[in-house]
Every structure is written in structure tokens, then in C-alpha cells.
Amino acid sequence: MTRLGRSLSAFIVALLTTFAVTACDEHTAVSTFRSFPETGWERTDTVVVQLDSLAAAGRYVGTVHVRLSTAHPYPFQELLIAVERDLMLAGDSLQALRDTTIDTLKIVTASDRGDYVGRGISVLEYAAEPFTVDLPAGTSGRFCVRHLMTRTPLEGIREVGLTLRRD
């Protein structure tokens, strides 16, 4: 095989591998993270996640992920988060239905003794208890994630994200 033939074969294998890896995650509708400055997460800093149009109907599982910095410790044992969804549900009828719901989630960040319970070394990762929602194909709208804590800004919060996957 010539040098050009080997290069072309390697390129084709790499391209097929990329397509295969991408196809393995076809159940993920959206996955977004937002970083915050060293000063922390302000109450007015809402993480907005756009949902363009779902390709497939089904039960979707949403998970809020939070990453805390150990350099600037988060001062509480829990973190309360609101997830607001404002969705246009495409249906069989001519008129779409609107779903506006707010879920309140709690993330336990430390034990009663004050030991962190997250995974990681310099950045600790936490996931809230997942929420589920049944959505028809074509659903669009947005999810908004904000904290419900009285202190603002919340020190130690480095990133907040939302993942929505078809079950």
C-alpha cells in the first residue's frame, strides 16, 4: 500500500470512529455548563439552557451538576437550586401546549462533620437528584437554573450545568 493509501485509510478510520462515538450519545438532548468567577455565583446569574427541538419523544431525565472549588470553599452543607422549565410541547393537535414548572432540588455538599462528599481533588463534583419529564417530539423552550440560597454571591461555586437525556 502506498503512503497516500495508508494516509487515506487512517483518515477514513478516524472519521468513522468520530461518527461512531457521536452516535453512541444520541440520547443526550442537551448538556451545558456555565462557569462563574472566583467571587462566586450571584443570585441574578441564571444558567439558561435552550432546547431547540427534540428529535424524539420520550421520558427525559434532567440532572443539575455543580462543581465546587476547594481553593475557595463553599460554606454550607447543602445547596438549594431551582430548575424552571418553560417549554412549548408540540402535540398532535394544531395548538401546542405550554409547560411552565419549577422544581426545587437539594444537593448535599458536606457531611454533618463538615467533610466534603463530592468527587474530585481540586474541584469537587456533585449531581442533584434527577428529575423526569415526558416530552413529545418537537418540544422546544428553555430551562433556567438558579440558586435559592440567601447569601449572594455563593463562594466556591465554579460551574453549574444541566444535562437532559432520553431514558
Task: Give the tens place of pLDDT for each residue, 37-78.
Answer: 888 899 888 999 998 888 888 999 999 999 988 888 888 999
Average of per-residue pLDDT values in the chain: 81
Number of H helices, E strands in the chain: 1, 9
Instruction: For the chain, report the end-to-end CA distance as a whole number of angstroms.
Output: 46
Residue 8 lies in a domain: no
Three-class DSSP category at 113: coil
Assess contact for 152 and 80: CB atoms under 8 A.
no
What mean pLDDT is predicted for residues 18-30? 53
pLDDT band of residue 24 (cuts 50, 70, 90) is very low
Q: Name the residue among 127, 139, 128 with its Cα closest to residue 166.
A: 139
Task: Give the tens place of pLDDT for each residue, 9-18.
Answer: 444 444 334 3
Assess contact for 79 and 149: CB atoms under 8 A.
yes
State the greatest distance between any 2 C-alpha atoms of the chain, in Å, as a whole number: 68
**Domain with 51 in it:** 27-166
Residue 101 lies in a domain: yes
Residue 118 lies in a domain: yes
Residue 17 lies in a domain: no
Distance (Å, rounded) from C-alpha 105 to C-alpha 33? Answer: 17
Residue 31 lies in a domain: yes
| pLDDT score for 16 | 37
Joined together, the cell numbers standing for residue 14 give 478516524
Q: The domain spanning residue 130 has which CATH number?
A: 2.60.120
| pLDDT score for 31 | 83
Residue 89 lies in a domain: yes
| pLDDT score for 122 | 81
pLDDT band of residue 94 (cuts 50, 70, 90) is low
Total number of domains constituting the chain: 1
Q: Name the residue among 137, 125, 46 with its Cα closest to residue 85.
A: 46
| pLDDT score for 91 | 62
pLDDT band of residue 30 (cuts 50, 70, 90) is confident
| pLDDT score for 82 | 94
What mean pLDDT is predicted for residues 72-90? 89
